[in-house]
Amino acid sequence: MASRTSPDFKDPGRWIEAFFASDHAEIVAIVDEASRRRGAAAAAVLDLFHRRLERHAAWEESVLFPAAARAAARRAQEPAESMRREHRELRELIAVVRAGLDAGDEGAFVRRLADLRERLVRHNAAEEAALYRLCDEAIPRGEIDAILRLLETSPKD
Ligand SMILES: [Fe+2]
Ligand SMILES: [Fe+2]
């Protein structure tokens, strides 16, 4: 993941967007890896995806969205609520994908995983287009630094 201080970080002023979009890309790559596997190997990658999605959603729901609500009040409220709702839908979809896999139904697994990927990509794009920009603009710089320091040092899995 690109750190704010790494040489490939070239967009000052969009720290939150860069950090979270980079994690989005890593998580989508894990879904793509799962789609190339079957059986127990697919289940292992799906479990990794589930853990990484939960970590990312927890960062947003416990740290980022509350900071956005403090800084931008009502402007952040509606998008944060709809992103929380989509997190719940994504969790439900993971359970559906897992059920197809556990039932040994390869066709269902492939179809459901493709659906999950599409929903995930749409969710990520919505956050990147609206919410992260608002966070970078509205949250005080010192608080952004503190948030990113906290998240950058959290364990990966
Ligand atoms: Fe999210
Ligand atoms: Fe996100």
Residue range(s) defining the domain that contains residue 55? 15-150
Position 8 in a domain? no
Cα 73 to ligand 1 centre (Å): 19
- What tokens appear for 55 in the block? 């970590």
Q: In angstroms, how far is CA 35 from the centroid of its own chain?
A: 18
Cα 103 to ligand 2 centre (Å): 30
Position 134 in a domain? yes
Cα 105 to ligand 1 centre (Å): 29
Confidence tier at 11 by pLDDT (50, 70, 90): low
Cα 5 to ligand 1 centre (Å): 24
- What tokens appear for 135 in the block? 């966070």
Position 9 in a domain? no
Please name which ligand lies nearest the alpha carbon of 27. Answer: 2
| Residues 51, 57: Cα–Cα separation, whole Å | 10
Confidence tier at 63 by pLDDT (50, 70, 90): very high
Position 2 in a domain? no
Please name which ligand lies nearest the alpha carbon of 23. Answer: 2
- What pTM does this model have? 0.90
User: What DSSP string describes 91-102?
Assistant: HHHHHHHHHHHH
pLDDT value of position 112: 98
Cα 103 to ligand 1 centre (Å): 29
Cα 107 to ligand 1 centre (Å): 28
Position 155 in a domain? no
**Domain count within the chain:** 1
Mean pLDDT of 21-32: 98
The answer to whether 80 touches 69, Cβ cutoff 8 Å, is yes
Q: What is the pLDDT of residues 102-155, one digit of tens each?
A: 999 999 999 999 999 999 999 999 999 989 999 999 999 999 999 999 999 988
Position 31 in a domain? yes
Cα 56 to ligand 1 centre (Å): 7
Q: What CATH number did the domain enclosing 114 receive?
A: 1.20.120
Position 95 in a domain? yes
Q: Name the strand (E) or helix (H) holding 62.
A: none
The answer to whether 27 touches 155, Cβ cutoff 8 Å, is no
Cα 11 to ligand 2 centre (Å): 19
pLDDT at 3 over 60: no
| Residues 89, 84: Cα–Cα separation, whole Å | 9
* Angle formed at CA 49 by CA 46 and CA 55, multiple of 5 degrees: 145
